[in-house]
């Protein structure tokens, strides 16, 4: 299959969309069976898409499209280890990272789970040593602070999960303070180093290639800081760095001790890497048992994805509603709106997951696509966003598809009954806002509001008809968060399968890195004439302006 737009179901959906244009969600919502027909649940997760501009016939046609695109076969290829990353000729085996310990997955005659479990075992040993206060720096003091040096998936995934699960810290003799550094300009690292004691600080150098310029630059700066403060270069690197990479050779060359190297593999994309040793900060935050619970939740969703019929398959249905909005209703903006402060970084995480995966304009066969693919994603905590960009959602000119996400239960762990009641009252108010906002986006006003004098007030009109999906989990735990993340991972895959694009490469980020290196050399050379010859007029102007300002300072 090259173009889904040639399929009979695609044409039928185009005709269905023309009918939908004439109907407001306010009218669709009158069907008393709507929630039953357009919601599904699995293992403590509820997916409600009854506020989407979808009728039962629409869903039937979307499922027909999935069948015509041979989605079931493609799901089997993904989970079975087939080389579905066709531009790099390798499988995408992030689901193998969360297999149970005794499971087997043979790829080209090798059981990949053996290596996965070996990496987890070594990771558990390092975690136990740090949490017990047994890891000592070069001065003999125990490590108290751990700084994760990463960028992209090596930063966004661990950061998001650590923030979400900060309340799940295990009992330990040596509480660890976790810090995250990603920016190449050094601003984050400079602020951290001002407050850290080098004698008790450990750095995690996380990079699949171990040559990503952003992370390498921060790691080199951290190394120089440690040596300047502590001396003893070889011992400093050994006792104050852990390496996480697919390249043992480069870790060793940089100076990381073998016993402090954690491995993951080329078949793990960065945005899917939190399940691997890249998740070391997560394990330090919530303990190795908690990390395994996170993996178990994701695996449960994998099993659901593999075995459930498409019509009752949560990732498939979440993906198909997106296809409907993007390709047939021309809605190409997506807002992620969690109603729980612990999910603060979830929109940022999904921005990379979706836009780096499906921000593609060629099919697997190299042909230009003739339909929209990934929408523009953004988001914020719902209660904060209500005081920021909800104005656009309710009264702006853009149609936006929204995902509302919330846990039902919270604060049960607070022992003092009065304090618990106060916080649960706040959470109830948050849930009320979540449901109210999605309802208002759906219904809007039935008529233009009028003043007390009977004058029309169109500036107060809520137009409604904005589609949304609501995702509820019973509570936010490592297990349930694992399910939620895997749900969105598989959603992205399903959409890629229907659009016939490869979601597992990211060539769009490579060329900019190469050009940046050449541009830095121009800034170092400070030769304005050479710059004028090598660069376009706009870039030459910027470079020469910087050189002029630097010369004056």
pLDDT in tens, 241-272: 999 999 999 999 999 999 999 999 989 989 99
> What mean pLDDT comes out for the span 92-101?
96
* 132 phi/psi in degrees, rounded to 5: -85, 0
Residue 416: partners with Cβ closer than 8 Å, 6 or more residues away:
none
Among the options 18, 102, 249, 387, which is catalytic?
387
Residue 133: partners with Cβ closer than 8 Å, 6 or more residues away:
142, 143, 173, 174
Q: How many helices (H) and strands (E) does the chain have?
A: 21, 13
Among the options 224, 258, 513, 545, which is catalytic?
513
Residue 490: partners with Cβ closer than 8 Å, 6 or more residues away:
301, 302, 305, 315, 316, 319
Among the options 16, 354, 356, 380, which is catalytic?
356
Tens of pLDDT along 347-371?
999 999 999 999 999 999 999 999 9
Question: Is 51 in the active site?
Answer: no
Dihedral angle over CA of 268, 272, 275, 276, nearest 10: 30
The pTM of this model reads 0.95
What gap in Å lies between CA 546 and CA 553, rounded to an integer? Answer: 11
Q: Band of the pLDDT at 553, cuts 50, 70, 90?
A: low
Residue 172 has pLDDT above 80, yes or no: no
Which residue, 218, 219, 153, is CA-closest to 184?
218
Tens of pLDDT along 201-228?
999 999 998 988 999 999 999 999 999 9
The CA-CA-CA angle for residues 264, 267, 273, to 5°, reads 55
Instruction: Write down the mean pLDDT value for the chain.
Output: 94
Q: Band of the pLDDT at 505, cuts 50, 70, 90?
A: very high
Q: Is 450 helix (H, G, I), strand (E, B) or coil?
A: strand
Question: Is 513 in the active site?
Answer: yes
Q: Band of the pLDDT at 442, cuts 50, 70, 90?
A: very high
> What mean pLDDT comes out for the span 282-309?
97
Q: Band of the pLDDT at 530, cuts 50, 70, 90?
A: confident
Q: What is the pLDDT of residue 363?
A: 95
Residue 227: partners with Cβ closer than 8 Å, 6 or more residues away:
233, 236
Do 320 and 62 touch, CB atoms closer than 8 A? yes
What gap in Å lies between CA 355 and CA 506, rounded to an integer? Answer: 10
Q: Characterize the bridge pairing of strands 39-42 and 45-48.
A: antiparallel
Question: Is 356 in the active site?
Answer: yes
State how far the alpha carbon of 97 is from the alpha carbons of 88, 146, 269, 356, 495, in Å: 20, 24, 12, 21, 22
> What mean pLDDT comes out for the span 499-519?
88
Q: What is the pLDDT of residue 1?
A: 63
Do 402 and 337 touch, CB atoms closer than 8 A? yes
Q: What is the pLDDT of residue 473?
A: 97
Q: How many CA atoms lie within 13 A of 140 on its CB side?
A: 0
Q: Band of the pLDDT at 520, cuts 50, 70, 90?
A: confident
Do 490 and 299 touch, CB atoms closer than 8 A? no
> What mean pLDDT comes out for the span 277-285?
97
Domains of the chain, start order = 24-83+308-505 (3.40.50.10490), 94-285 (3.40.50.10490), 509-552 (no CATH)
pLDDT > 70 fraction of the chain, expressed in percent and rounded: 99
Q: What is the pLDDT of residue 228?
A: 94
- The full 3-state SS of 65-127, as one line of letters, equals HHHHCCHHHHHHHHHCCCCCECCCCECCCHHHHHCCCCCCCEECCEEHHHHHHHHHHHHHHHH
Q: What is the pLDDT of residue 552?
A: 76
Which tokens go with 471? Answer: 């995702």
Q: Characterize the bridge pairing of strands 241-245 and 261-263.
A: parallel
> What mean pLDDT comes out for the span 467-480?
98
Residue 428 CB coordination number (10 Å)? 11
Do 219 and 179 touch, CB atoms closer than 8 A? no
Q: Band of the pLDDT at 173, cuts 50, 70, 90?
A: low
Q: What is the pLDDT of residue 525?
A: 82
Do 390 and 378 touch, CB atoms closer than 8 A? no
């Amino acid at each position: 299959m090259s173009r889904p737009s040639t399929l009979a179901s695609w044409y039928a959906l185009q005709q269905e969309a023309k009918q939908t244009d004439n109907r407001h969600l306010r009218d669709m919502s009158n069907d008393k069976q709507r929630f039953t027909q357009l919601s599904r649940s699995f293992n403590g997760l509820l997916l409600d898409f009854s506020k989407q501009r979808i009728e039962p016939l629409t869903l039937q046609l979307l499922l027909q499209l999935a069948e015509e695109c041979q989605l079931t076969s493609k799901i089997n290829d993904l989970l079975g280890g087939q080389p579905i990353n066709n531009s790099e000729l390798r499988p995408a085996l992030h689901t193998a990272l969360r297999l149970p310990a005794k499971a087997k997955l043979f790829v080209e005659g090798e059981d990949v789970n053996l290596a996965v479990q070996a990496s987890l075992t070594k990771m558990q040993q390092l975690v136990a040593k740090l949490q017990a206060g047994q890891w000592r720096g070069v001065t003999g003091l125990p490590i108290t602070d751990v700084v994760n040096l990463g960028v992209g998936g090596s930063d966004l995934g661990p950061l998001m999960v650590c923030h979400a699960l900060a309340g799940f810290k295990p009992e330990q003799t040596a509480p660890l303070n976790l810090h995250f550094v990603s920016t190449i300009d050094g601003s984050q690292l400079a602020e951290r180093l001002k407050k850290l004691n080098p004698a008790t600080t450990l750095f995690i150098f996380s990079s699949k290639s171990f040559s990503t310029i952003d992370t390498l630059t921060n790691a080199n700066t951290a190394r120089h800081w440690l040596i300047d403060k502590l001396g003893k270069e070889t011992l400093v690197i050994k006792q104050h760095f852990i390496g996480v990479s697919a390249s043992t050779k480069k870790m060793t060359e940089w100076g990381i001790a073998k016993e402090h190297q954690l491995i993951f593999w080329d078949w793990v994309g960065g945005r899917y890497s939190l399940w691997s040793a890249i998740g070391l900060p997560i394990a330090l935050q919530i303990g190795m048992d908690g990390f395994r619970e996170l993996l178990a939740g994701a695996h449960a969703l994998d099993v659901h994805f593999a075995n459930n019929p498409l019509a009752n398959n949560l990732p498939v249905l979440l993906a198909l509603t997106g296809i409907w909005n993007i390709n047939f209703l021309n809605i190409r903006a997506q807002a992620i709106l969690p109603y729980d402060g612990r999910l603060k970084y979830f929109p940022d995480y999904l921005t990379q997951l979706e836009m780096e995966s499906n921000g593609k304009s060629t099919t697997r066969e190299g042909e230009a696509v003739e339909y929209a693919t990934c929408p523009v994603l953004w988001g914020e905590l719902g209660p904060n966003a209500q005081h920021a960009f909800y104005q656009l959602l309710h009264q702006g000119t853009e149609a936006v598809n929204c995902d509302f996400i919330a846990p039902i239960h919270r604060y049960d762990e607070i022992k003092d009954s009065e304090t618990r009641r106060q916080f649960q009252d706040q959470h109830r108010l948050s849930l009320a806002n979540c449901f109210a906002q999605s309802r208002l986006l759906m219904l809007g006003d039935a008529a233009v509001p009028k003043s007390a004098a009977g004058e029309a007030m169109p500036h107060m009109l809520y137009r409604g008809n904005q589609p949304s999906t609501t995702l509820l989990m019973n509570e936010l735990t490592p297990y349930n968060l694992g399910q939620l993340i895997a749900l969105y991972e598989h959603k992205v895959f399903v959409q890629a399968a229907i659009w016939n694009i490869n979601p597992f490469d990211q060539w769009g980020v490579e060329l900019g890195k190469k050009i940046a290196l050449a541009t830095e050399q121009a800034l170092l050379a400070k030769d304005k004439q050479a710059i004028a010859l090598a660069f376009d007029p706009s870039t030459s102007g910027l470079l020469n302006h910087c050189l002029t300002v630097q010369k004056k300072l």
